[in-house]
Amino acid sequence: MFSTVLLFREALYGALVIGVACSVLGVYVVLRRIVFVGATLAQISSAGIAFALWLAGTGLALGPLLRPTVMSLLLTLAAVVVFAGGARGRIPPDATIGVTYAVAAAVGILLIAKAASGEAHDIFLQGNILGITRGDTLVLIGVAVPVLVLHALFYKELLFVSFDRETARTLGYDVRRWDLLLYLTLGVVIASAMQFAGVMLVFNFLVLPAVTGLLLSQHMRGVFFWSVTSAVVAAVVGFSLSVPFDLPSGPAISAASGALVVIAWLGRRLLARSS
Amino acid sequence: MAPLVTFDRATLGYGRRVVLTDISFDIPEGDFLGLVGPNGSGKTTIVRTLLGTLPPLAGTVTRDHALRFGYVPQRDQVDYSFPLKVLDVVMMGRYDRIGLGRRPTADDRARAREALEHVGIAHLADRRLSDLSGGQKQRTLIARALVGEPTVLVLDEPTNGMDLVATTQILGLVRELHDRDALTVLMVSHALNEVANYVDRIALVVEGGFRIGTTDEIMTEETLTQMYGIPVEVDSFDGHRIVVARRRDATEAADRV
């Protein structure tokens, strides 16, 4: 079993990089109650991949735009700018996000139905974790490391504007710019991970590890620690079980994440009863 | 001495929506001003303009160049789902002094502990914010405002949703901060009876109208009846002033006599 897992070690490395990056950003996604924004960005990113695959089939010579990751990144960043700006109007912001989610999902499926590529359907639905190469892992690291460095560097600023926007504003913080930074990093990570991990796994890494972290810790550092740890454990366990049992890797990792949430929840309840 | 803040014929609002017009007043150093009015009357608009987060639509708002606000938001404006220790929350009041991308130092932590001591909850420094009572949360937010060494303390509805004991304690603490540290204070509230016995001056905002004066000037039946548009009575009990709206039937009976 171990040798079989080693055979796909690049895929495991890639999943770990995606898991670590998403689980750090996921703490903000969960605490700021923008889980639906995370899901919608993932869906838009996915639609971007579908759009690129469909365009490739039309024979149009659009150069780098035909690369799924490039198109995914462009569409996701466009959505990020809109979401970070906040909605102003009659329609509640979550309804706008809901509309975007539904439209992105529908358009993605329609485009993929007409895409020429035979593999397109699988990539669109589940990503292609096992197809991750050394080069892909390096690209993922190249995206994740600067994002994580930015988050470490500006931790207190991002925390402050997330926790108490009005007071941050009175101390001279440009809350919208910090929101934009958070959303941009979110968009870049989602778009770069989407082609490999798919909507479900990216969304899973954005939400479930952070929830595990919040269940296991009473302070921010602990939440980040447990969020990253649970993402790593879920990736290793889920992936290691998926290969020998011939299960799809993404859902196996997601199931492992779910199991960790349940274990954390039970552990917390037991602790609460005993104290 | 020049005032710390001057509103000069200022029109306040959001975009095209005008909330208040022709607002003129100033806040001198050492003032203890209560900004009072019903919900939706424009108190928050005045505060935002004062803090500089909302520009006036017309007129001018001038602030002393060395002015620094310590802002205490309404308690429900803060997100208690964040797993933050009391000390970490207080430290936020120094974030802009610490600087972009830098971490709090031992000195910042010591100052945060001092601020907590100042408001009487130093023993709660390592507790989680969400585990505290309403009054303790409010003291934490006041400590956060104080740790930034403000020239003006601005409190937005500091006693909202609190019981009588907590309300009295918080108002007493704010008065103490004003008296002991000679801190200039602006306290926003919808409860005239609560504020009137603690502040030195009152700015009354009711349905677009604005009136400012000393507590003695504002707390008269004539002024309050005119501002609120209903007959009111101002009584005194044990040195405390109490405003009571006259019952309609009693008023009508009096009119008939």
Burial grade of B236 (CB within 10 A; 0-12, 13-18, 19 or more): exposed
Q: Which residue range is the domain that position B42 belongs to?
A: 5-229
Q: Model-level pTM?
A: 0.88
pLDDT, tens digit, 9 for 90 and up, residues A218-241: 999 999 999 999 999 999 999 999
pLDDT, tens digit, 9 for 90 and up, residues B187-221: 999 989 888 989 999 999 988 889 999 998 998 88
Number of structural domains (chain B) is 1
Closest CA to B147 of B96, B121, B174, B111: B111
Q: Which residue range is the domain that position A58 belongs to?
A: 2-274
* ipTM for the whole complex: 0.87
Q: Which residues of B touch A166 (CB under 8 A)?
A: 53, 71, 73, 77
Q: Does residue B240 sit within a domain?
A: no
Q: Which residues of A touch B92 (CB under 8 A)?
A: 156, 160, 163-164, 167-168
pLDDT, tens digit, 9 for 90 and up, residues B33-73: 999 998 888 999 999 999 999 999 999 999 998 899 999 99
Contacts A–B by Cβ distance under 8 A? 70
Q: Does residue B250 sit within a domain?
A: no
Residue among B73, B81, B85 whose CB faces A219 most closely: B85
pLDDT, tens digit, 9 for 90 and up, residues A184-222: 999 999 999 988 888 899 999 999 999 999 999 999 999
CB contact under 8 A, A156 and B95: yes
* 3-state DSSP helix/strand/coil % of chain B, to nearest 5: 40, 30, 30
| pLDDT at residue B210 in the model | 92
Q: Does residue B101 sit within a domain?
A: yes
Residue A142 reports pLDDT greater than 80: yes
The average confidence (pLDDT) of chain A is 89
Q: Which residues of B touch A175 (CB under 8 A)?
A: none
Q: CATH number for the domain including B69?
A: 3.40.50.300
| pLDDT at residue B77 in the model | 87
Q: Which residues contact B24 (CB under 8 A, 6 or more apart)?
A: B7, B8, B9, B10, B59
User: Which of A153, A164, A173, A175 to mutate to test binding with chain B, by most B CBs within 10 Å of its CB?
Assistant: A164
| pLDDT band at residue B252 under the 50/70/90 scheme | low
Residue among A160, A167, A218 whose CB faces B83 most closely: A218
Q: Which residues of A touch B112 (CB under 8 A)?
A: none
Q: CATH number for the domain including A131?
A: 1.10.3470.10
Q: Does residue B18 sit within a domain?
A: yes
Q: Which residues of A touch B100 (CB under 8 A)?
A: 154, 157
| pLDDT at residue B234 in the model | 87
DSSP state of B247: P
pLDDT, tens digit, 9 for 90 and up, residues A13-35: 999 999 999 999 999 999 999 99
**Cα separation of B209 and A120, whole Å?**
65
Residue B253 reports pLDDT greater than 70: no
Average pLDDT of span B101-109: 94
A222 touches chain B (CB under 8 A): yes
Number of structural domains (chain A) is 1
| pLDDT at residue B194 in the model | 87
pLDDT, tens digit, 9 for 90 and up, residues A82-130: 888 766 667 887 888 899 999 999 998 888 888 776 555 666 666 778 8
Q: Does residue B253 sit within a domain?
A: no
Note which residues in 44-73 of chain A have CB less than 8 A from chain B: none
| pLDDT at residue A118 in the model | 55
